[in-house]
Amino acid sequence: MTFLDLVKQRYSCRNYQPRAVEQEKLDYVMECVRLAPSAVNKQPWRFHIVRSEEDKAKLQQCYSHEWFQTAPMYIICSILHDEEWVRSDGKHHGDIDIAIAVEHLCLAATEQGLATCWGCNFDAVKCKELFDIADNEEPAVLIPIGYAADEPMEQREQSQTCLDSAESRQRSGGAQPKDKKRKRMEEICWNLD
């Protein structure tokens, strides 16, 4: 698989099978996370693997969408603010670092046949409380991870040609259809010469 194939294959999955993620696959994914670059190599991050029924129920209180509960496990991705690099003008780099590591996670998972979805629209204050997370640590992203329960990509792509996203979502049981709606290259890539 080329890198472009992998990038095309990753999508935000919002419907998971109950099937557990194999430990070897999780180890592989986390090794790809561990090797992510960071500003001044500070690696200002921590990843909480959430697998027990008790912890899953706690995390589900922080992001109450129904689809989120279908995931067999989650990873809480945190920034360690006392470890992040701060540039001389005061700009903090933890957000950038965690984003790189999390996308390593999502792409590695995709390569392993797993599905993920970024989740930032959660109650981070509640998450800190429920998991007794220290002051210096900010839970920044929740990642559900597992095997997708929605239609295979090809079918989703075909149905996407004749359905708008709401209809398509309904048809695939709440899952986001595979639609890579993106800005055109001319809009994002400015040639300076």
Residues in the site for ligand FMN, rule: CB under 6 A? 11-12, 117-121, 176, 180
> In the chain, how long is the greatest CA-to-CA distance?
57
CB–CB of 84/93 below 8 Å?
Answer: yes
> Does an H or E element contain 100, and which?
helix 94-111
Q: How far is the CB of 160 from ligand FMN (least distance, A)?
A: 11
Q: How far is the CB of 11 from ligand FMN (least distance, A)?
A: 4
Q: How far is the CB of 56 from ligand FMN (least distance, A)?
A: 17
Q: How far is the CB of 9 from ligand FMN (least distance, A)?
A: 10
Q: Please, which residue, 23 or 92, has the CB nearer to ligand FMN?
A: 92
CB–CB of 149/173 below 8 Å?
Answer: yes
Q: Please, which residue, 32 or 99, has the CB nearer to ligand FMN?
A: 99
Among 6, 125, 131, residue whose Cα is nearest residue 57:
131
Q: Please, which residue, 2 or 121, has the CB nearer to ligand FMN?
A: 121
* Residue 29: φ, ψ to 5°: -60, -45
Round to whole Å and give the CA distance between 29 and 27.
5
Residue 23, token pair as written in the block: 């430990």
Round to whole Å and give the CA distance between 118 and 121.
9
Q: Please, which residue, 10 or 191, has the CB nearer to ligand FMN?
A: 10
Residue 95 in 3-state DSSP? helix
Q: Please, which residue, 12 or 159, has the CB nearer to ligand FMN?
A: 12
Q: How far is the CB of 25 from ligand FMN (least distance, A)?
A: 20
